[in-house]
Amino acid sequence: MSTELERLTARIRACRICVETPKGKPLPHEPHPVVRLSAKARTLIAGQAPGTKVHASGAPFTDASGDRLRDWLGVTAQEFYDTDKFAIVPMGFCFPGQDAKGGDLPPRCECAPAWRSEIMATMPQIDLVLAIGLYAQRWHMGAARQRSLTETVAGWRTAWDDGAARKVLPLPHPSWRNTSWMKRHPWFEMELLPFLKTEIRRRLD
C-alpha cells in the first residue's frame, strides 16, 4: 500500500464523526471502521455496512454473506482478502447497530460525504465497482440507478454500456435473506453472474 493510502486508512480508522458530530442519533457503540484500500486492485467492492460478525472480526464479509459473495465472484477467500486484487469499502464503515426488531440499521449517513470522494480519488486504478445494495447504487450509479433495486440490477447491461471508464455492476446484497429474490429472478444467476465471474477473472489474471 502506498504511503498516501496508509495515511488515509489511518485517518479513517481514527474517525469518530458518527459519535462526536453525528447527523441524528450517535453511533450506539465505539466506532470500529472496517475498510480495505488498495493501490493495485482494479475491483472495488462497495457494500453497505459491517454486521455484527464483521464488527467483531474487523475483516469485511466474514459471515455467510461473504461466502455467497465469494461464490458469486468465483474467487477463493485468499484471493478475496488480497488487497492487490480487491479493495473493499462499504458505504458505512462501522456496524450501525440494530433496530427494535433486531435487524441491522442502514449505513451511517456521515461516512460517504466525509470520505468517499477522497477514497475514490486515491484509487484511480479502480475500473470496476461492484455496487452492492441500494446505498452503494445511489452513490456510484447516479442517473443510471432505477426506481427499485430489482430494476437497477435488471438494467445492469445498460449501466455497463454507458461508456464510463470506471464500470459499475449493481448487485443485490448477498444475504441469505435474498434467496427468494434470486429464485424469482433467475436471470441473475443465468446471465449476470457468469458475466461477473468473467470480468473478475480477467482482472485477476
Q: What is the reported pTM?
A: 0.95
What amino acid occupies position 33?
Answer: P
Nine cell digits for residue 15? 474517525
Q: Do 65 and 175 meet the contact criterion of CB atoms below 8 Å apart?
A: yes
Gyration radius (Cα) of the chain, Å: 16
Question: What's residue 161's pLDDT?
Answer: 87
pLDDT tens sequence across 23-75: 999 999 999 999 999 999 999 999 999 988 898 898 999 999 999 999 999 99
Distance between first and last Cα of the chain: 20
Distance from CA of residue 52 to its chain's centroid? 16
pLDDT at 171 over 80: yes
Q: Do 95 and 63 meet the contact criterion of CB atoms below 8 Å apart?
A: no
Per-residue confidence band for 152, with pLDDT thresholds at 50, 70 and 90: very high
What amino acid occupies position 87?
Answer: A
Per-residue confidence band for 186, with pLDDT thresholds at 50, 70 and 90: very high
Per-residue confidence band for 109, with pLDDT thresholds at 50, 70 and 90: very high
- For the chain, which domains are there? 3-204 (3.40.470.10)
